[in-house]
Every structure is written in C-alpha cells, then in structure tokens.
C-alpha cells in the first residue's frame, strides 16, 4: 500500500476536515474520540493520537498507525525532519 500521509494530512487540512479525521484521547480517563478535541466527561483537552477512523468491527476510534505500522515506520527521513529555523538576524552594534 502506497499512501503519502503528509499529502493526506495536507489535503484534509485544506478541506478543513483534519480535526474530524483525527483520533483524540483524554489524558485523564483514556477514552478515545474521533474528531472531538475536548473530553465531554472530564472537560479536559484531549491528546491528538493521529489520523484515524472508526473500526467497522467494534465501532471504536482506531489510529492509522496502529493498523498500518509499516506505513509510518517507512516514512522518509525528510518527512520526519524538523522544520528549518529562520535565519538569525544580525544584532545591532551597541554603542
């Protein structure tokens, strides 16, 4: 299977559908939610676990990385590199 996760994420962001396609987990109760950024029970912000969807068998949110670990371990190093820092601005000379 050949899926470009970065391109998929960019396309979902462009369509304003990225939040709806992400699985979130409450840091307190560990309940998972699809597209819900705040836990309705604990009223805490959930952690983003990544792109995912609802399992057809159990109807629970599942992260793509759990289903297709080889897809995420074979990502190119360039997609995991940190963004380059902006060039440093020269300091003004002190008088």
Name the residue among 59, 84, 68, 56 with its Cα closest to residue 5: 68
| Per-residue model confidence as pLDDT tens digits over 31-70 | 999 999 999 999 999 999 988 889 888 989 998 888 876 6
Is the pLDDT higher at 89 or at 81? 89
Mean pLDDT of the chain: 77
pTM of the complete model: 0.65
Name the residue among 5, 3, 26, 2 with its Cα closest to residue 80: 5
Residue 61 has a pLDDT of 93
């Amino acid at each position: 299977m050949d899926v470009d996760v970065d391109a998929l994420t960019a396309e979902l962001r462009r369509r304003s559908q990225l939040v709806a396609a992400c699985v979130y987990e409450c840091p307190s109760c560990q309940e998972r939610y699809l597209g819900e950024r705040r836990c309705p029970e604990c009223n805490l912000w959930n952690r983003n676990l990544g792109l995912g969807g609802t399992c057809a068998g159990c109807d629970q949110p599942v992260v793509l990385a759990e289903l297709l670990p080889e897809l995420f371990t074979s990502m190119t190093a360039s997609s995991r590199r940190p963004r380059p820092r902006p060039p440093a601005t020269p300091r003004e000379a002190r008088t």
